[in-house]
Amino acid sequence: MGIRGEEEEDIVDKLPAEEPIEGEESAAEKKRRKKKEKEKAKKAAQKQPNPETTTTDQSDAKGKAAAAARKMPKHVRLMQEALAKRREEEERQAREEEERQRKEEEERLRQEEMERKAEEEKRNKKEKDKEKRLKKKQEGKILTAKQKEQNRRREAMRTQFLAKAEEDLTEPKQNPHDDETLAHQVFDDEAGEVIDDGSRIEDGGVVSESDKNLRSPICCVMGHVDSGKTKLLDFIRGTNVQKGEAGGITQQIGATYFPAGKLREMTKGLKADARLEVPGLLVIDTPGHQSFTNLRSRGSNLCDIAILVVDIMHGVKDRTIESLDLLRRNGADFIVALNKVDRLYGWKTCGNAPIVEAMKVQSRDVRDEFERRVSGIIGQFEKQGLSTELYYKNYDVREVTSLVPTSAMTGEGIPDLLLLLVQRTQRTMVEKLTFSNQVRCTVLEVKVVEGHGTAIDVVLANGVLREGDQIVVCGQQGAIVTTIRALLTPYPMREIRVKGAYQQHKEIRAAQCIKIAAHGLEHAIPGTCLYAMGPDDNLEALKNSVMEEMESVSGHIDKAGEGVYVQASTLGSLEAFLEYLKSKEVNVKVSGVGIGPLHKKDVMKVSAMLEKKRTIKYASILAFDVKVTPEAEEYAEKSGVKIFTSDVIYQLYQQFKAYVDSLIKEEKKEEAVFPCVLTILRDFRRRNPIILGVKVHEGILKVGTPLFIPSRNFIDIGRIATIEDNGKQVQSAKKGEEVAIKIVGTNPEEQQKVFGRHFAIHDELVSHITPTSIDALNHQQHTLSEDERKLAVGPDGPDPPAQGSCMFYKLMVASILQDKKLKIPKKFVKRYGDELTAFATIIVPDGRMWPIELQKIEGKLWFHNGWQEFMEFYSLSTGHFLVFRYEGKSRFNVHIFDLTVSEIKYPFSAPVSLWKPNHDMGVQLNPNELGSIKTEGPAGRRRTRADTYEHEVPGLQKVEAKSSRHKLISEFFSRRWRPVTPEEKERTVRAAYMLKPENPFFRVILRPSYVYRGFLMHIPSGFARVYLKRVSGFVTLQDSSGKQWRVKCVYKPRQARFSQGWPEFVSENKLEEGDVCVFELIDADAFVLKVTILRVLEKAENVA
């Protein structure tokens, strides 16, 4: 035991001395150690063996080392190895500690340098501002508060750009996603291992900015209606403000402050080591509906960053695009929230969970649908020129906008959204969020606060407000200058619009929602700026600045003072409502505006306008989201002023529109003159007033009907004042009834007509229907029987006026018949003269189209060449009444009424004398073609070949001489066909006229020479020239089933026809005389014409 112990001690003594740890030995020891190492290295070099003996020496060295190892005890060898490892570990730790201390020193120096530069810039800026202010004071140019604010914004923007450039130069290059993407980690408590789940929440990369005096960022929530904006904030607050919104639509801008503690609590599920440097987050909920563009614009101007909410189930909508454009114009940074992910079919709720965690528990089908909908929305944004990507896949946040899936109902994705908002603002908007003493404040609403009187809700975007500060606010009666009596704020997480207890403060820093109580705020205008008086500010300049904003509504007020009166709760609501009323679809004039509750004085303004203008519909007040005082309601009822109130802008307009429609209906009812023909039975009184016994021969007799006598040169005898039947007064009498009527004069200044002098018992009395009464009667057609309707407007009645069309009327008199031309009214020419071409097309209900030349004579526009033929064809005479309805492109629909004010029965075929050789052989021309051939004159005066058998047979023989052709002709000659009645022809033509294809087309009424003997069908030469490009070759005819025929088209100047191939088309489709073919050009390059056949012997049914 003793010997073994001595041996062990000797061995331990022989062990090399333990080298001192680096950093602990002195300088002298280091020198000695280095000297010894150099000597050892020199000796080793001298003893270096010859290369030839290297192999042998190495073998010997290995053998010796192995022998020494065998001789050395195992425990000694292990102790040596342990000591060597210990020394290596201590050396490594020393090196790491030295490197850490070096980096900390460099970082400290860099921070000190940055702070020094910032202080120096701040000091220089202060000195420059002081010099500028002093210089401007000396020059007499003192900046207004508005100018100061603009200068401050420009300076902040410049500083921000410089800070970003400096950051790019000084910071080491990181991964592409480190600036914005978030590294989300989930810890396994049992295994103690870190598991990366793929989302990217930033983990502690934020440099402390607490010493940079930051304010709370202002966030704006924007998006389409019902996308879930307010609901999203309700979930974060744990409240339900939206139940207080009218129609579920946010009508005003609401603001809510979220303190930093609440944000940390909401984002704790992410377990990200990110510090919140800002004191909180101020969120503005902006309206999403299209009528509140102005409110949304004001909200976006206030915000530093925005959330654009998109319904993942519906994608990008119109208002989403509008909000996107608004954000781009203002250069605002924003994040897209894909809301309502809980509505995906099969979604499993994970309340308040990060979105990546929530997606892990979803089924494969839900994930597939999610990816499909996200891809669709990304594509929709791409069409708008915006690159987007899910935030945890976004590696280029400077160029690509992040998408954050959320659910406002169950809370998934809400932590991701909040943390992403805060980190983005405090990393990229340091300069913008730097606190400034210059006050930026906007008035939201004016309300009465219990215990404080009238107060205004404001958003303090920057600066400090204190009790006792003098402020300037825009008012309805001019600028308001007052002093702050109290500064009130709602408790955190409560929206400022919701009533409740308030905290009172002596001083408030931005950014916050505040209620300001002060004297004289009753007439403050919401939506305007608030200015705080500084020691160097000019009061008059501030007063002028605040009143400039009211000029935006002056352009909407009618200069003539005619229109409705509009009252709204805020300036933003008023501007949005005025823009809506000014739109083309609504187009309602506005005579005056007001903001705030509706008082008696406002109603008095409208009643004065009613007395002056005598316009009943404009004696109305549209009160949008305001209260109406009892005095105002009472005075409005007495004065006849209508007040319409609603919290939803569309309901308000619909109420007014329904009221106007009812007034128009009553006016039309009074203006409507029902057609009637009366036979005089006897006279009871001959004059002043005339009382007659009459029998209603035709139509319906009503009180107020004006009467005239056609047989006495249309003499007007007055209107019916009363109707009596067996001694009882009635309002009307029907056909066959005998009643007594009292007739009074229509014009008090004229002498009333006398029975026996101006008219006699054998004269028929007819109701005097004017153009105005015809238009009014159209609104009353549902009250007419079939016979009465026919008496008024003919068997089929005139077509209803097209939207945007214009009507004028002409009574045929002797001068028109003699001059053989018709003058177009000056008002019509003034309005539509620029659209008219050299030729106009008159379209009559029988289907005919009459091209008539327009001539300007002595500054007046006339229907000239072609008008005489039109009059002769329809046998127009003195007393006929024509209704012209302009349809655009020089086309007029014309209805003709006879002496009984009934529409004539239009002839189907022209008299024989009118079918001249120069007519285009029964072709009905397309109005588009007529406009294109205006230089050639009227189609009716074009010279073509006459449609006779003698002319057709030689032509046919010249074109085609094949035996098969002759056989086909003989078959048609031997075919038996019955004559077609005019009624059948008329029915077919009417059906063809109702068919109006979208492409260029023309109609042809088939004559015997087209289908029985000549087999040459003439087509409009103008159509062939313009649309068939003067082709002399084959075209393709195609029926509705797609079957095609090749037909040769022969074009000559002023003449075009189908020849070869046409007989086969006629034969296979079994065409008959009187059938109408509508040829529609469906392929202009290949000359393909689709043919629709309306058969005269099948009740004009479309069979092809």
* Selection from 969, 774, 761, 956 nearest residue 882 by Cα: 774
Domain 934-1098 class in CATH: mainly beta
Residue 929 reports pLDDT greater than 70: no
Q: Which pLDDT belongs to residue 777?
A: 61
Q: Where is mean pLDDT largest: 15-29, 250-264, 493-507, 757-771?
A: 757-771
Residues 595-631 have pLDDT tens digits of: 778 888 888 888 876 666 556 777 888 888 788 888 8
Range of lowest pLDDT (176-180, 657-661, 1007-1011)? 176-180
Average pLDDT over residues 256-281: 73
Residues 783-815 have pLDDT tens digits of: 555 555 555 444 444 444 444 457 788 878 777
Q: Which pLDDT belongs to residue 505?
A: 86
Please tell me which residue, 167 or 231, carries the higher pLDDT value. 231
Long-range pairs for 70-75 at CB < 8 Å and ≥24 separation? 72/11, 73/11
Residue 147 reports pLDDT greater than 70: no
| 709's tokens | 């006598």
Exposure string for 631-641, b = 16+ CB within 10 A, e = fewer: ebbebbeeeeb
Residues 997-1020 have pLDDT tens digits of: 878 888 888 887 788 766 788 888
The CATH architecture to which 557-669 belongs is 3-Layer(aba) Sandwich (3.40)
The residue behind tokens 């000239």 is 864
Range of lowest pLDDT (174-178, 618-622, 855-859)? 174-178
Q: How confident is the model at residue 376 (pLDDT cuts 50, 70, 90)?
A: very high
Residue 213 reports pLDDT greater than 80: no
Residue 455 reports pLDDT greater than 90: no
Average pLDDT over residues 139-163: 64
How much is the mean pLDDT over the chain? 73
Cα 1078 to Cα 1001: distance, rounded to the nearest angstrom: 7
- Which CATH code fits 440-549? 2.40.30.10
Q: Which pLDDT belongs to residue 119?
A: 86
Cα 1074 to Cα 985: distance, rounded to the nearest angstrom: 6
Q: Which pLDDT belongs to residue 271?
A: 57
Cα 100 to Cα 108: distance, rounded to the nearest angstrom: 12
Identical fold for domains 183-428 and 557-669, yes or no, is: yes
Average pLDDT over residues 741-758: 78
Residue 1076 reports pLDDT greater than 50: yes
Residues 480-535 have pLDDT tens digits of: 999 999 888 876 655 555 555 677 888 888 778 788 999 888 888 877 888 888 88
Q: Where are the domains of the chain?
A: 183-428, 440-549, 557-669, 672-787, 802-907, 934-1098
What percent of the chain is predicted at pLDDT more than 70? 70
Q: Which pLDDT belongs to residue 783?
A: 55
Average pLDDT over residues 439-449: 79
Q: Which pLDDT belongs to residue 190?
A: 33
Q: How confident is the model at residue 1036 (pLDDT cuts 50, 70, 90)?
A: very high
| 1054's tokens | 């002023």
Cis peptide preceding 191, ω within 30 of 0 = no
Cα 62 to Cα 1085: distance, rounded to the nearest angstrom: 97
What percent of the chain is predicted at pLDDT more than 90? 7
Tell me, which fold does domain 183-428 have in CATH?
Rossmann fold (3.40.50)
What HEC string does 874-895 produce?
A: CCCCCCCEEEEEEEECCEEEEE
If phi over 0 gives left and psi between -120 and 50 gives alpha, with beta otherwise, what is residue 857? beta
pTM of the model: 0.42
Cα 25 to Cα 505: distance, rounded to the nearest angstrom: 64
Residue 1049 reports pLDDT greater than 70: yes
Dihedral (Cα; 497, 499, 501, 504), 10-degree rounding? 40
Domain 802-907 class in CATH: mainly beta
Q: Where is mean pLDDT largest: 11-20, 245-254, 256-265, 408-417?
A: 408-417
Q: How confident is the model at residue 373 (pLDDT cuts 50, 70, 90)?
A: very high
Task: Sort 307 into a burial class: Cβ within 10 Å, 0-12 / 13-18 / 19+.
Answer: buried
**Residue 506, SS3?**
coil
Residue 691 reports pLDDT greater than 60: yes
| 844's tokens | 């009559």
Pairing of the two strands 440-449 and 529-532: antiparallel
Residues 933-964 have pLDDT tens digits of: 333 333 333 333 333 333 333 333 333 334 44
* Selection from 562, 626, 563 nearest residue 594 by Cα: 626
Cα 681 to Cα 303: distance, rounded to the nearest angstrom: 84
Residue 405 reports pLDDT greater than 90: yes
Residue 865 reports pLDDT greater than 90: no
Average pLDDT over residues 195-222: 53
Please tell me which residue, 1023 or 405, carries the higher pLDDT value. 405
Q: How confident is the model at residue 749 (pLDDT cuts 50, 70, 90)?
A: low
Q: Which pLDDT belongs to residue 974?
A: 42
Number of Cβ within 10 Å of residue 1016's Cβ equals: 24
Q: How confident is the model at residue 114 (pLDDT cuts 50, 70, 90)?
A: confident
Residue 167 reports pLDDT greater than 80: no
Backbone angles phi, psi at 331, to 5 degrees: 65, 30
Residue 1102 reports pLDDT greater than 50: no
Q: How confident is the model at residue 1101 (pLDDT cuts 50, 70, 90)?
A: very low
Cα 641 to Cα 591: distance, rounded to the nearest angstrom: 14
Q: Which pLDDT belongs to residue 1038?
A: 92
Average pLDDT over residues 422-437: 76
Crossing angle of the two packed helices 963-974 and 1062-1069, in degrees rounded to 10: 40
Q: Residue 1003 pairs with which residues in a beta bridge?
A: 924, 1078
Q: How confident is the model at residue 835 (pLDDT cuts 50, 70, 90)?
A: confident
- Which CATH code fits 672-787? 2.40.30.10
Pairing of the two strands 333-339 and 305-311: parallel
On whether the CB atoms of residues 449 and 502 are closer than 8 A, the answer is: yes
On whether the CB atoms of residues 556 and 578 are closer than 8 A, the answer is: yes
Cα 202 to Cα 425: distance, rounded to the nearest angstrom: 13
Average pLDDT over residues 203-219: 56
Average pLDDT over residues 830-836: 83
